[in-house]
Structure 1
């Protein structure tokens, strides 16, 4: 019997909610006495052209028997259709209790490259055999791609310049906590992909392998990061207490585990570590060099960076000389000077923005920016009484910026490889700028329930090539109010109408990233028409909502796998008699399930909503609510019934199918 226990009683040990218990999948691997060492396969593609690619695999094989073993190492390469396209066999004699590293090279003709747009994956199937016995078999996914961080041109993937449009994410999954659900991670990535995001920073710990598998499959590039602290602590019981005993082994395991993922393009050895601040203390230099030495021995193919908020060359981590790519957290006003400060060095903005927003809430005038709190070490005394932050992109932390302020700089300079926005999703903990009863963050482009905030569409309008037009806010105000209407768009021009009367045509000019009309409120209909080359291509309509009358429910997926793990995310909307969402509705919603499934979480995205997540009822927040349904290990129809007092109920049907 193997018993694993977690003692997480000593608090605080993290600056945010990092989870408790065993929340990732645990794997117990049993092997024969002749086997491939755990994480003992390392695949690289050192030479790539249009016609061919050199596949190189190093395989570490161990012999724990009491006899010499004559073995064959057979590698088969499978394409995207799982068809064997080539193979190679080599022979070796393994000594008693021996350990050997076998290097094999295979030429792959007409390689299909891995890229953001076409994340083509191959498989290496490795067998260890002797006579008629198969000792071990391991399948390893890999991709063929080449890249460089250039000090003048930025990031180049497969010979094509790519701006890294990334986000930082903690690993919690909203109302599901930190427990790993493959579908929940996939949903997050789908939402980000739809925004135009192409990169993930695993802030600030090595990710679940399921995340990297999905990034490989879906075409995200990854900054793979370890360590929010080194030997100097940030909280009383954090990893600094275990640093001396564990950093070397943990770093080795991290690199060995993740180095075959084509999505991983850079290692980050730390986030805002305390050692960066004391220029008279050499420990930052020493630790950075030790970590880099471990990494380069195990993976010489990828660059190293660190997320530094001490943005001077005297920063000991930078001064160590081990950062292949300079990484800054924030300080966007300093980016234009990077080529002068670090000549010949590539640069990436490892963490940016830290803007704050509550979905569906708006402070006016919209062109007045709030820096909350007034300083990083001071409390906020003048915020909103209901603990909200404006969604106009006019509220940020003092160390950060609005989304527009940083993106203008990133967009302007080719030498900036890209950025990772803090954060893609709201997360549990760190409710800056407020304290209790706020219990989750305001940083996300997407709220804790997975509902996009308005700024999501700013990035769509900048990062996607399809026509985009998003108009906000809602149209339920007091008669006589002066309201700022914004539009995020990539159309040539937008004309705004209120109750059929034109409010004028606006065009994005210069460095403008949104359009704005300041108008008196009258109830009715707001419509916006986006035009490209004089032709109407998009129309968006916002109607004044009446009082709540009914519920609408929509599932992200209706056919699920009957494996006890698959999820369906149900979006619930509170609407009036015409089907218009009621933007201030907070009705209590109850969900019932009939069939082989269970409700495992409900949320509404509100940072101050203190009800339990594991429940079948929740108040809507600004008209929206979420229910998460998990299948059981049996097939059948699932009926999801959604009810609320005095509102017309609704229901949807899902199918749970075995081996889907």
Structure 2
């Protein structure tokens, strides 16, 4: 802003160039190259930090997802923080930028439907004006599971919202996340104004898309809704279990008394599927441009399938503390070029118990499993398999898997039977942070035996204290039914792990974190805070 030759104010905006294109029969193209959209939906919270926007917290979430092979984020279901979009630009993510979770018809008594008549035009166009210079934003979503799908007002409002969007930006396709796949009943579809059809769930119908929706292009805007608790394993069944089993049940009947869900990827909400089920379909057909899995991370609220004391979701590929669940490695084996070999479950069971051992792997022809040096056989994926399995009678010792390609070892992984809890191990994601009052270091806390093996059922209560130029911003363990305040400096381990978040203040120096627990060693770790 220049006034009489003097600069009064200035603003700098980063921007970038890319070309995007949806093809009806061949899916999505980025800069002329066919790219399968491997996305997740993200809620706005940062786990133990709550809804506060912290750049490092967002960056950590995105880096964990990027390491998995994720390339796209759906901002479900409201305007994202600008900091998220800045990071997505920087880190190379695509973003479906979503505006509304409801229009004029309510989902809850006091939700946005009360403001929609007066504010929807300004809110929509302000969001597009704010976000349109971000190259990561590759499409707009004007709604999520909107109730107007089911009456004629949906057609009118769709046309209005599309027109308002294109008054400002004609460079990006527009979608809406729909649930009603019968076009005679879906009035948003009948508007014929969406550039790309966004479908939520209903994965069994995807294969017939070209036939049933002539002239239309596809994106799976929300999928899966599988449920897991990190590190907890019930004997898997032959088919996916649905918790709850139908829409008449608010909660699961005869679930686990400790409010856990098995991590074997065999439990989902009744409207969803296992992770493997939907990904196999998306992977198979070129015209299915990609998917956004519900969700990348567990989030605060919506603790399907349980009532209180469950208080956070089970949907995440990664738990609330940022610890990957086992299915993370299924996606990593499918979505990334990294060599992957992941073995589950832990190896602490009752003698003689038949344990279902799974291995996710890639870039190899086969996996051989050993127990205490004895081969339990070679397994190879058949057809569209995404993992291999063995049924193994438990025997204390070492479970070892070796993946091979052309007879040569690719990776080796071992899991050992752990003894009693003996020590606390602390490891920080960053040893040096900025003394700007906002930077964070995430410290993983593990309960291990005398030989350093993580104790998979450890639930020791650990107390944390801090001295120096920082503070404890929060603690967590990923357990969805832990009602201890996320700000409290005391946390029980959940399946051997918990987390401490350290925040800098505005002074340079050292931060000393101390962890103590009865019958375990006292452990410390030092973080440096610098300008």
Task: Please tell me the TM-score bracket, short chain as reference.
Answer: over 0.9
Aligned positions of 1:119-134 closer than 5 A: 129=2, 132-134=5-7
Distance 1:546 1:481 in 2: 18
Indicate yes or no: 2:202 matched with 1:325.
Answer: no
Report Cα offsets for 1:565-608 as digits up to 9, x if no partner.
Answer: 00000000000000000000000111111110000100000011
Aligned positions of 1:132-531 closer than 5 A: 132-134=5-7, 136-277=9-150, 281-314=151-184, 315-379=186-250, 380-490=252-362, 491-531=364-404
Distance 1:386 1:367 in 2: 23
Cα pair 2:447 2:497 within 8 Å, conserved: yes
Shift of 1:632: 0.3
Distance 2:500 2:296 in 1: 21
Q: Which runs of 4+ in 1 moved over 6 A?
A: none
Aligned-CA RMSD value = 1.0
Distance 1:367 1:461 in 2: 23
Shift of 1:199: 0.4
Indicate yes or no: 2:460 matched with 1:590.
Answer: no
Report Cα offsets for 1:69-94 as digits up to 9, x if no partner.
Answer: xxxxxxxxxxxxxxxxxxxxxxxxxx
Distance 2:349 2:222 in 1: 36
In the superposition, relative to structure 1, how do residues 333 and 152 fare at CA in structure 2: closer, same or farther (>3 Å)? same
- Give the secondary structure class of the aligned counterpart of 2:115: helix
Cα pair 2:236 2:266 within 8 Å, conserved: no
Report Cα offsets for 1:219-262 as digits up to 9, x if no partner.
Answer: 00000001111101011100101111111110010100000000
Which residue number corresponds to residue 580 of structure 1? 453
* Aligned pair partner of 2:480 in 592, 607, 621: 607
Shift of 1:134: 3.0
Distance 2:353 2:106 in 1: 50
Cα pair 1:493 1:508 within 8 Å, conserved: yes
Cα pair 2:240 2:273 within 8 Å, conserved: no
* Aligned pair partner of 1:640 in 513, 517, 529: 513
- Give the secondary structure class of the aligned counterpart of 2:148: helix
Distance 1:361 1:138 in 2: 50
Report Cα offsets for 1:456-493 as digits up to 9, x if no partner.
Answer: 00001101112100000000000111100000001211
Report Cα offsets for 1:197-236 as digits up to 9, x if no partner.
Answer: 0000000001000000000000000000011111010111
Cα pair 1:636 1:656 within 8 Å, conserved: yes
Cα pair 2:236 2:264 within 8 Å, conserved: no
In the superposition, relative to structure 1, how do residues 136 and 598 fare at CA in structure 2: closer, same or farther (>3 Å)? closer
Shift of 1:135: 5.0
Which residue number corresponds to residue 82 of structure 1? none
Distance 1:398 1:276 in 2: 21
Distance 2:494 2:192 in 1: 49
Distance 2:25 2:240 in 1: 33
Shift of 1:366: 4.5
Normalised to the residue count of structure 1, the TM-score between the two structures is 0.79
- Give the secondary structure class of the aligned counterpart of 2:399: strand
Q: Structure 1, unaligned stretches of length 5 or more? A: 1-34, 36-128
Cα pair 1:439 1:607 within 8 Å, conserved: yes
Distance 2:160 2:195 in 1: 15
Cα pair 1:206 1:224 within 8 Å, conserved: yes
- Give the secondary structure class of the aligned counterpart of 1:155: strand
Shift of 1:130: 6.8
Distance 2:164 2:239 in 1: 49
- Give the secondary structure class of the aligned counterpart of 2:63: helix
Distance 2:158 2:502 in 1: 45
Distance 1:571 1:391 in 2: 20
Which residue number corresponds to residue 556 of structure 1? 429
Aligned positions of 1:41-56 closer than 5 A: none
Q: Structure 2, unaligned stretches of length 5 or more? A: none
